[in-house]
């Protein structure tokens, strides 16, 4: 049994439509515990740094603009195989490809406004969690 922490971001398209609670219910129904959470307005600098890995992709500037277009909710989800379980609950990046019952199938508006971000590996999860949270803020 591997208990992991992973980073989740509820994106501006979802906070704008008041979907934070509905999305959190999906995480909790999947057995993930929300052990830290904060609502933030990202700055351009923060969004560029967070998504630095995508800086050469054609969608980078639009992605950064979208991520600063309204509040986000950053959170740490904890549970058995949390990285994988969270990615299953989120569904495919493009909502057109997402499975029924997933967050992106139910809530996402487009590949860009896709409601949630989740770490794609345990290594990245550690790095992404430390981007937003101090160790002392993770309560479990």
User: Residue 41 has which token pair?
Assistant: 């307005």
Q: Which of residues 44-83 bind ligand CMP (CB under 6 A)?
A: 54, 59, 63
Is the CB of 78 or the CB of 104 nearer to ligand CMP? 104
Told to check if 117 binds ligand CMP by CB under 6 A, we report yes
- Clarify whether 117 is annotated catalytic: yes
Q: Which of 112, 122, 124, 126 binds ligand CMP (CB under 6 A)?
A: 112
CA distance 139 to 1: 20
In terms of Cβ atoms closer than 10 Å to its own Cβ (0-12, 13-18, 19+), residue 1 is: exposed
Write phi, then psi, for 33 (nearest 5 degrees): -100, 135
CA distance 66 to 51: 12
Question: How many residues bind to ligand CMP according to rule CB under 6 A?
Answer: 8
Binding site for ligand CMP (CB under 6 A): 54, 59, 63, 93, 111-112, 114, 117
Residues identified as active-site: 117
């Amino acid at each position: 049994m591997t208990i992991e922490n992973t980073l989740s971001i509820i994106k501006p398209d979802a906070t704008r439509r008041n979907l934070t609670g509905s999305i959190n219910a999906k995480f909790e129904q999947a057995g993930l515990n929300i052990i830290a959470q904060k609502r933030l307005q990202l700055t351009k600098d923060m969004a560029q740094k967070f998504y630095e890995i995508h800086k050469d992709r054609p969608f980078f500037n639009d992605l950064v603009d979208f991520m600063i277009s309204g509040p986000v909710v950053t959170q740490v989800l904890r549970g058995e195989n949390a990285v994988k379980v969270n990615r299953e609950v989120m569904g495919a990046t493009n909502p057109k490809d997402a499975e029924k019952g997933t967050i992106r199938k139910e809530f996402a508006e487009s590949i860009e406004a896709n409601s949630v971000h989740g770490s794609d590996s345990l290594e990245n999860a550690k790095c992404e969690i430390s981007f937003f949270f101090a160790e002392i803020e993770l309560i479990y």
